[in-house]
Amino acid sequence: MDEITIIEIIKKTLKYSNNYITKGIDDDCAVIKINDNLYLVFTTDMMIKKTHIPSIFKPYEIGGRILTANVSDIASMGAKPLAFLLSISLSEKEANENFIKELYTGLNDFSKLYDCPIVGGDTNKGDELILSGSAIGITDNPIYRKGNVGDWICVTNDLGRVYCALTLYYMFKDKKISNSEFKKLCEKYPKIIEKLRKPIARVKEGILMNKYISGCCDISDGLGKEIKYFKNFELYEDKIYKLIPEDVIEFCEEFNLNPIKVVLNSGEEFELLFTTSKYNKVKDIVKDYSKIYKIGKIIEKGQFIDGEQFYGGGYIHKW
Amino acid sequence: MDEITIIEIIKKTLKYSNNYITKGIDDDCAVIKINDNLYLVFTTDMMIKKTHIPSIFKPYEIGGRILTANVSDIASMGAKPLAFLLSISLSEKEANENFIKELYTGLNDFSKLYDCPIVGGDTNKGDELILSGSAIGITDNPIYRKGNVGDWICVTNDLGRVYCALTLYYMFKDKKISNSEFKKLCEKYPKIIEKLRKPIARVKEGILMNKYISGCCDISDGLGKEIKYFKNFELYEDKIYKLIPEDVIEFCEEFNLNPIKVVLNSGEEFELLFTTSKYNKVKDIVKDYSKIYKIGKIIEKGQFIDGEQFYGGGYIHKW
């Protein structure tokens, strides 16, 4: 049983809808239409300690991360985040003042950064740390995962660092490198570790580019999985190389990794993947916040990378 | 460490807010003001298998219940539910087609009942079944947990059955009664078991009574805890007795329980507890859906039951 099969069963079973619902399952957020100029976007994201939270994470970083993961979905709709709620299951280990204070300080700091207040939640006793966030946002023009034929496919900033950071983390966790080697490598690749520990949702970018893009999603499961939402596309390796940071290239050389595969499989980057016919306009309008890079084009039919059939990538839960 | 201390730490740590937020933590829902005639209400509720889900629950009932718990918070604000999201952690035990189909059929049926479509979620692999829901609603007049001096304090329908049902369930679970005795008692007290298995959120009632009530909350942790949100009140035992159903009285006699204590400690009833100076109007306007009962009055100062200091009740998580 995998995530995709489960979601198919869920979609078939959930039949009820009404006129408010413009978009249900099948995008980063659900979209609810209040009137022609007012749409709500609504999303949820869960983090389970064992599955999603590397043990090196500080409570502050866990707090920032759950907010970022949710707000990033709002950003990918080109919407402004309005508010965030956190349901939390705490085990005895975390039910102490220090942990709670640090976790919620992370939440508070990032809520300021995103102008997205944390307005409540539900606190529960459980066997392990689980955080389940939900966020709402507002826009007059929700942006979906799609593109028009001929549009450029673009990405904000860079990709690859999170995959490298997790590679390092698992080498350490699986005892392939010692604690001191791990620390040395973290010092050698500080930006790689930072992107894992403190990813940033591209909230300002999403709002600013709203009127100039045809489609958008955030990169939470890896470009290789997310790009498929755009259905028909061609990617260009030479263009993808331009958004790979030097430290990722260096890391790939040191650990014998293919940089393109690293980029395609790097999840929880929270960069925006979007389509536009106005590349220069978008580049200019977000220039104070993010760089943007072309990586491909929307085409009539098929999924290709440099003319070859596209092989994919990204993360899928399996049971 | 208990839930109340944790929530105090959280409230102190979460400082960031903005002009959209009319109400943060401290009510059934957060309230976000879009304009003078449009408020969003936003809530989340988590169910952890070990803590919240009796093993006798069918997947269908679990689905209905998580939606009801969330939608009930929307109803208690006098708002109309708009949409619901479900994040779910599935262990290997539940990651099969039958379980998922039944769970989401329960969700779908109740979403129709409440006119609250399920618009998405997040599906994860975990060690145990955890459901975390969130719901948004809409109103021009959000109702808070408060009342004016002299207002009647009222409750919809009845209270006590859920406490009795859980008493039965724990006698069975702790092997104080056999499987066949448990079944016989379930047959003897069908409405008691039904209220545990299929509680109903009072959505229509909340919307209909909106303009005629001064305050409202739903009874999820027990009347004894919820009534304290109204700060200054006097309850009358003879009035409370009038909303206790006959089967609860009979159950209390059979198992030597105090019916008033049962009512005060009966959680997850999802009835509405509200204050009004227009009792007859409210009674009339909701008569096709629910009965309502007076149980007390808002007073100048203090918390009393029949002139004595009020002793409380209800459920608090402890670690």
pLDDT, tens digit (0-9, with 9 covering 90-100), for A77-93: 999 999 999 999 999 99
The two structure tokens encoding residue A58: 């500080």
Measure in Å the smallest separation between the Cα of B7 and chain A Cα atoms: 8
* Dihedral-angle region of residue B234 (phi above 0 means left; psi in -120 to 50 means alpha; beta otherwise): beta
The rounded percent of chain A whose pLDDT value lies above 90 is: 93
Q: Give the three-class secondary structure for A152.
A: strand
B122 contacts in chain A (CB < 8 Å) = 44-46, 132
Cβ contacts of A52 on chain B, cutoff 8 Å: 124
CB A50 within 8 A of CB A64: no
Chain A residues near residue B13 by CB distance under 8 angstroms: 100-101, 104-105, 107-108
A18–B318: do the CB atoms touch at under 8 Å? no
- Quick one: pLDDT at residue A258? 95
Give the closest residue to B233 by CA, choosing from B294, B311, B298, B293. B298
Q: Reduce the DSSP state of residue B153 to 3 states and report it.
A: strand
Residue A139 has pLDDT above 90, yes or no: yes
Query: Would you say residue A312 has pLDDT above 80?
Result: no
Alpha helices of chain B — where are they, by DSSP H? 3-13, 49-52, 59-76, 97-113, 161-173, 179-188, 190-197, 203-209, 223-226, 237-242, 246-254, 259-265, 279-285
A104 touches chain B (CB under 8 A): yes
> What is the number of other CB atoms lying within 10 angstroms of the CB of residue B68?
26
Query: Tokens 């009342």 belong to which residue?
Result: B147
Instruction: List Cβ neighbours of B274 (8 Å cut-off, separation of 6 or more).
Output: B143, B153, B154, B155, B209, B213, B214, B215, B216, B217, B282
With an 8 Å Cβ cutoff, is A105 touching chain B?
A: yes
Q: How far apart are CA A96 and CA B6, in angstroms?
A: 8
pLDDT of residue B318 exceeding 70, the answer is no
A155: pLDDT strictly greater than 80: yes
- Max CA pair span of chain B: 58
Region B116-145: mean pLDDT is: 96
To the nearest whole Å, the CA of B57 is away from the closest chain A CA by 19
Distance CA B24, CA B32 (A): 9
CA dist A42 and A32 (Å) reads 8
Question: Which of B11, B87, B203 is the best residue to mutate to test the A interface, defined by the most A CB atoms within 10 Å of its own CB?
Answer: B87
CB atoms within 10 A of CB A97: 11
Inter-residue long-range contacts of B277-285, CB under 8 Å, 24+ positions, other chains counted: B277/B148, B277/B150, B277/B151, B277/B152, B277/B214, B278/B212, B278/B213, B279/B152, B279/B154, B281/B212, B282/B154, B282/B209, B282/B212, B282/B213, B285/B208, B285/B209, B285/B212
Contact A46 B108 (CB under 8 A): no
Q: Which of B4, B13, B66 to probe the A interface (max A CBs under 10 A)?
A: B13
Say yes or no to pLDDT of B192 above 90: yes
Instruction: Let me know if A99 is exposed, middle or buried by CB neighbors in 10 A (0-12, 13-18, 19+).
Output: middle
Answer yes or no: do A105 and B13 touch at CB < 8 A: yes
> What distance in Å separates the CA atoms of residue A34 and residue A15, rounded to the nearest whole number?
21
Span B30-58, mean pLDDT?
95
Model confidence at A202, in pLDDT bands (50, 70, 90)?
Answer: very high
What value does the mean pLDDT take over residues B177-186?
96
The alpha-carbon gap from A280 to the nearest alpha carbon of chain B, in Å, equals 34
pLDDT(B316) > 70: no
Structure tokens, A298: 């929307």
Query: In chain B, positions 229-248, which contact chain A (CB-CB < 8 Å)?
Result: none
ipTM score for this prediction: 0.94
Q: Do A223 and A266 touch, CB atoms closer than 8 A?
A: yes
In the predicted model, what is the mean pLDDT of residues A16-35?
A: 95
Say whether A10 and B117 touch across the interface (CB within 8 A). Answer: no
* C-alpha–C-alpha distance, residues A131 and A66, integer Å: 7
| Residue among A25, A111, A122 minimizing CB distance to B16 | A111
CA distance B155 to B226: 12
Give residue A51's pLDDT. 84
Chain B residues whose CB is inside 8 A of the A46 CB are: 87-89, 122, 124, 132
> Binding residue per annotation — B104?
yes
Structure token pair of residue B203: 């959505």
Chain segment B87-118, per-residue pLDDT in tens: 999 999 999 999 999 999 999 999 999 999 99
Tell me: the pLDDT tens digits for A238-288? 999 999 999 999 999 999 999 999 999 999 999 999 999 999 999 999 999
* Residue with tokens 């595969």, as numbered in its chain: A261
CB within 8 Å: B136 and A112? no
Q: Do A46 and B111 touch (CB under 8 A)?
A: no
Could you tell me if A175 lies within 8 Å of chain B, comparing CB atoms?
no
User: Domains along chain A?
Assistant: 3-139 (3.30.1330.10), 152-309 (3.90.650.10)
Q: How far is CA A23 from CA A28, A225, B117, B248, in A?
A: 10, 21, 11, 45
Given a cut of 70, whether residue B313 has pLDDT beyond it is no
pLDDT of residue A2 exceeding 90: no
Q: Give the pLDDT of residue B264.
A: 96
pLDDT at residue A317, as a whole number: 63
B 18-37 residues with CB < 8 A to A: 18, 20-21, 23-25, 29-30, 32, 34
- Nearest-by-Cβ selection for B123 from A121, A122, A317: A317
Helices then strands (H, E): number in chain B?
A: 13, 13
pLDDT tens by residue, A36-69: 999 999 999 999 998 889 999 999 999 999 999 9
Residue of B nearest to A80 (CA): B20
Read off the pLDDT of residues B235-284 as tens digits, 9 standing for 90 and up.
Answer: 999 999 999 999 999 999 999 999 999 999 999 999 999 999 999 999 99
